[in-house]
């Protein structure tokens, strides 16, 4: 049994000014001033300005003769946003009940121990973004779209730093130190390929691509190495699976590259330093001579496709999403696709890895190797809805009746062996790990009727 209680306060002020001229030029300037009790005494408040400019080129006099072009607009913007930590009191000294007891008034009482250092300079994590975009529409708006190019730099990222004790009361301090940059492009296309009296088809396709780079993990007060082993699998593997390195993207898997299984039933591992292939030993687990970058958890391309069809009183719509160019660590296989365990195992443990002749022996302990990394590419039907609108004539009580059937998560096209290649990745530091004890994705169906009076 457990319980908790916390409190926090957020106060914000917001103002903006917009200006338009001749239906061709527009500008929007805004500023936010926000304060949160979650930050240190010296940095409660943050100021977040933004400005955007637009030029509707299609409304210029020199564009009047182009009848097939309906809209052409150029946009540019800059803005700063702030992020608030999820937990309260992280800038203060926090205590917890310890293992030691003291005797008072005839009773033994638990003592308190410090479990966080104070940081009065704890402040907002901020992101400053430049964006350039182009909106266009042609053929009486039957075909339109937008292109956006952006670059975003995130500063003062929070990180737990190891500090000496004493003078500190605790061995870690939360501080604003990290810097990261994201750059990318987003494309959207809208079209109405068919439009008649009885039949209409509208479609929208989107694509985005992002490049990530970690710029810094240190500052003048807090310093760490430029390489940090992060994330990882728990007992009994107890091995880090990713490495944060300044100058590279976050989400890089880092570990041993397996290329086969020996006659003794042990993994054959590539020695990065010599290029030789050697049989697995425990000494390899913490030796960088046998560890290398094995792929990234962040998709290179995100796709989306939505369609709406209408035929007389029938309507059909569906949405599809896809992610491509990334790796997933199948934790269930790393644990249960091993003959050394005394509990349930996957049937695939009887297969020879890499299509070879040798299977893993009982002498091969559970560990993390590249064999358990899989391509995560997928294309998923997230929703499909079929509806029928009942024709009503001169009904004073009911204006509209529409019956429909809808399905979510209908199918997924993928080569991934796990339950679902679409991961939540709520924690960026452990993104790309498909945890073994997660609840399966749900496929659901809904039947309903909408009645308007």
Q: Residue written as tokens 């020199």? A: 62
Q: What is the rounded distance in angstroms from the CA atom of residue 81 to the CA atom of residue 126? A: 6
Question: Could you read off the pLDDT of 43-100 as tens digits, one per residue?
Answer: 999 999 999 999 999 999 999 889 899 999 999 999 999 999 889 999 999 998 888 8
Q: What is the mean pLDDT of residues 428-432?
A: 83
Per-residue model confidence (pLDDT) at position 393: 79
Report how far apart, in Å, the C-alpha atoms of 438 and of each of 269, 289, 370, 386, 423 are: 30, 34, 22, 31, 10
Q: What is the pLDDT of residues 88-132, one digit of tens each?
A: 999 999 998 888 898 999 999 989 999 999 999 999 999 999 999
Predicted structure pTM score: 0.88
pLDDT for res 396? 72
> How many C-beta atoms lie closer than 10 Å to residue 368's C-beta?
25
pLDDT at 391: 87
Q: What is the domain partition of the chain in residue ranges?
A: 11-83+124-249+294-353+367-452
Percent of the chain with pLDDT over 90: 79
Least confident of 67-71, 114-118, 187-191, 397-401: 397-401
Higher pLDDT, 325 or 430: 325
What average pLDDT does range 230-258 have in this prediction? 91
Residue 395: pLDDT over 80: no
Query: Residue 398's pLDDT band (boundaries 50, 70, 90)?
Result: confident
| 167 preceded by a cis bond (ω within 30 of 0) | yes
Q: Is the dihedral of CA 358, 363, 364, 366 positive or negative?
A: positive
What does the pLDDT look like over 270-310, one tens digit per residue? 999 999 999 999 999 989 999 999 999 999 999 999 999 99
């Amino acid at each position: 049994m457990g319980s908790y209680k916390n409190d926090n306060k957020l106060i914000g002020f917001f103002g903006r000014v917009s200006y338009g001229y001749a239906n061709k030029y527009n500008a929007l300037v805004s500023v936010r001033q926000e304060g949160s009790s979650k930050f240190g005494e010296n940095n409660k408040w943050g100021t977040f300005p933004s400005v955007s400019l637009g030029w509707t080129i299609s409304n210029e006099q020199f564009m009047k003769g182009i009848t097939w072009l309906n809209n052409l607009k150029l946009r540019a913007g800059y803005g700063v946003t702030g992020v608030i930590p999820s937990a309260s009191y992280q800038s203060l000294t926090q205590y917890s009940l310890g293992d030691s007891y003291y005797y008072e008034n005839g009773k033994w009482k638990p003592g308190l121990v410090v479990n966080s250092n104070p940081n009065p300079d704890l402040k907002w994590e901020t992101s400053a973004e430049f964006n350039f975009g182009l909106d266009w529409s042609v053929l009486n708006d039957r075909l339109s779209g937008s292109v956006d190019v952006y670059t975003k730099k995130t500063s003062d990222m929070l990180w737990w730093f190891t500090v000496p004790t004493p003078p500190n009361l605790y061995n870690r301090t939360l501080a604003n130190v990290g810097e990261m940059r994201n750059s990318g492009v987003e494309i959207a296309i809208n079209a109405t390929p068919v439009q008649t009296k009885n039949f209409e088809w509208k479609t929208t396709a989107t694509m985005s691509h992002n490049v990530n780079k970690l710029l810094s993990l240190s500052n003048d007060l807090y310093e760490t190495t430029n390489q940090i082993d992060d994330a990882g699998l728990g007992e009994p593997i107890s091995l880090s699976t990713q490495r944060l390195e300044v100058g590279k993207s976050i989400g890089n898997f880092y570990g041993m590259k397996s290329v086969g299984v020996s006659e003794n039933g042990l993994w054959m591992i590539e020695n990065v330093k010599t290029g030789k292939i050697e049989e697995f030993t425990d000494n390899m687990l913490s030796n960088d001579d046998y560890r290398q970058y094995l792929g990234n958890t962040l998709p290179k391309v995100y796709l989306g496709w939505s369609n709406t069809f209408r035929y007389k009183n029938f309507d059909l719509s569906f949405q599809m999403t896809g992610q491509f160019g990334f790796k997933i660590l199948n934790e269930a296989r790393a644990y249960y696709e091993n003959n050394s365990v005394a509990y349930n195992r996957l049937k695939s443990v009887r297969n020879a890895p890499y299509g070879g002749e040798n299977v893993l022996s009982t002498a091969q302990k559970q560990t993390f190797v590249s064999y358990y990394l899989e391509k995560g590419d997928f294309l998923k039907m997230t929703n499909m809805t079929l509806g029928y609108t009942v024709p009503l004539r001169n009904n004073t009580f009911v204006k509209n009746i529409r019956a429909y059937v809808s399905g979510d998560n209908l199918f997924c096209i993928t080569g991934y062996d796990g339950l679902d290649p679409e991961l939540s990745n709520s924690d960026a530091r452990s993104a790309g790990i498909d945890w073994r004890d997660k609840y399966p994705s749900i496929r659901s169906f809904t039947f309903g009727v909408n009645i308007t009076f």
